[in-house]
Amino acid sequence: MSSIDKSKPIGVVGAGAMGRGIIQVFAQSGFDVLVHDANSSAIESALATIEKLLNRSVSKERITDDERDATLKRITPVGNVSEFKSVQLFVEAASEKPEIKKTIFKAVDKVLAGDAIRATNTSSISITELAAVTGNPSLFIGMHFFNPVPVMKLVEIVMGLETSDATYDKVHALAEAVGKTPLRANDHPGFVSNRILMPMINEAILCMQDGVARPEAIDGIMQLGMAHPMGPLRLADLIGLDVCYDILNVLHRDLGEDKYRPAPLLRKMVLAGRLGNKTKQGFYTYE
């Protein structure tokens, strides 16, 4: 197993819901984190959210004022990815669009050290396809975190066709160093997590569409009957209905089976701009 070197920073591109969680867990575990987002207001909003969550931990006496301040000090926004030269691990958490991710990896690949690991937090894009735009696919890997990142224990580590075992070992060790449980999967549509989760969410939407039950009853049945922490419709709102729709389209296209076809109601919700928590309107309304 690889040993962990906290003297070298972590680079993150993307300060949205997933990116800010990734930034927080690395910084809280003692790593310096360099952060870039094309949209500087996303970084401001990410820092404000991280500070709010850390303040909450202070008020619950889980961390001290000094620990909060030290965590915030370890996060450095950078205007350009050219500042990622010294990072040991680069994590991409940008929009779930292949072309955007490929553009980022092409730019960052030119800057990163020859042995730095290139990781993507993609939920469904092929790791092998993204690795192919970099100079050394053996250093490329999927590091799939779960929302909300500071709370969820899992990191699904996804091996591309050419990812080396040494890269896996290092990422496994880094995931454990930030308090997560890493589990290994191979590059295949939806990996393990979304191949199983998304058909369940889709089926819940089909139940709603077919009038089988009200959303509250569908969610309540899964929470109380199956001990899920939240029902599938509320979970879809948390993930983002656009994200669920994109992942189902990847499963449907790449696995070629009707069972993965997105529910028409999901498509309509996305077309209407009702994307869940982030737009305050999804299967439920949020304050």
String of contacts with ligand 3HC for each residue 114-133, x by CB under 6 A: ---------x----------
Contact segment (CB under 6 A) with ligand 3HC among 75-83, 85-93, 140-148, 181-189 equals: 140-148
Residue 95 is a binding residue for ligand 3HC (CB under 6 A): no
Rounded Cα gap, residues 281 and 237, in angstroms: 8
- The residue among 126, 117, 102 whose CA lies nearest residue 166 is 117
Comparison of 16 and 148: residue with beta carbon closer to ligand 3HC: 148
Q: Could you tell me whether strands 140-144 and 154-159 are parallel, antiparallel, or unpaired per DSSP bridges? A: antiparallel
- Residue 159: both structure tokens together: 């091996």
- Say whether 277 is catalytic: no
Among 230, 257, 272, 280, binds ligand 3HC (CB under 6 A): 230
Residue 239 is a binding residue for ligand 3HC (CB under 6 A): yes
The catalytic position among 121, 123, 126, 277 is 123
Rounded Cα gap, residues 118 and 183, in angstroms: 18
Among 98, 150, 182, 199, binds ligand 3HC (CB under 6 A): 150
Q: Name the amino acid, one letter, at 72.
A: L
Comparison of 130 and 197: residue with beta carbon closer to ligand 3HC: 197
Helix (H) or strand (E) holding 34: strand 33-36
Among 194, 245, 270, 283, binds ligand 3HC (CB under 6 A): 194
- Contact assessment for residue 216 and residue 285, using Cβ atoms and an 8 Å cutoff: no
- CB count in 10 Å sphere of residue 129: 15
- Contact assessment for residue 152 and residue 172, using Cβ atoms and an 8 Å cutoff: no
Among 31, 90, 140, 146, binds ligand 3HC (CB under 6 A): 146
Catalytic residues: 123, 144, 156, 194
